[in-house]
Amino acid sequence: MSCIFCRIVAGEVPAEIVLRDSEVVAFLDVQPLADGHVLVVPRAHVAQLEDLEPRAADALFRTVVRLARPVREALGAAGTTIGVNNGEATGQTIAHVHVHIVPRWPGDGAGSIHTIFPRHIKRKLPEVGAAIRDRMT
């Protein structure tokens, strides 16, 4: 098994686990962006969010919601930035779905999700909306 997150899920690689259940494991990021940076992963090895089984997706998001308050309160944070690098092109370095929960404080020097995009917008909203709706099954 080469995936580091599968190895953490299996207990073969040590991690600071904060929650473990039948579908999901959550542990501290070993190179935290801030104190209390947590990763939530499905037990099943799935590379991208859109490939998750509905049950695993439900469990993953439920666990993110369940952890948001304890993570924030444990660190005395004002909020949390919650995000997913979904696919190699987005900067995903480990091909096993993981949700980042990163505590935030006023004036902590980090930006909002808006700050990562240069806003190179070429297409009109109705055209984009129609294209997405056409692909929904």
- On the CB side of 106, how many CA atoms lie within 13 Å of its CA? 0
Active site residue 98: yes
Instruction: Pick the catalytic residue from 45, 98, 100, 114.
Output: 98
Residue among 77 and 96 whose Cβ is closer to ligand AMP = 96
Distance of alpha carbon 99 from alpha carbon 84, whole angstroms: 5
Stretch that binds ligand AMP, among 18-26, 59-67, 84-92, 124-132 (CB under 6 A): 84-92
Candidate residues 37, 96, 100, 104; the one interacting with Zn ion per rule CB under 5 A: 96
Q: In what order do the strands lie in the sheet with 79-83?
A: 17-20, 24-28, 38-42, 99-104, 79-83
- What are the residues binding ligand AMP (CB under 6 A)? 4, 13, 15, 29-31, 39, 85, 91-94
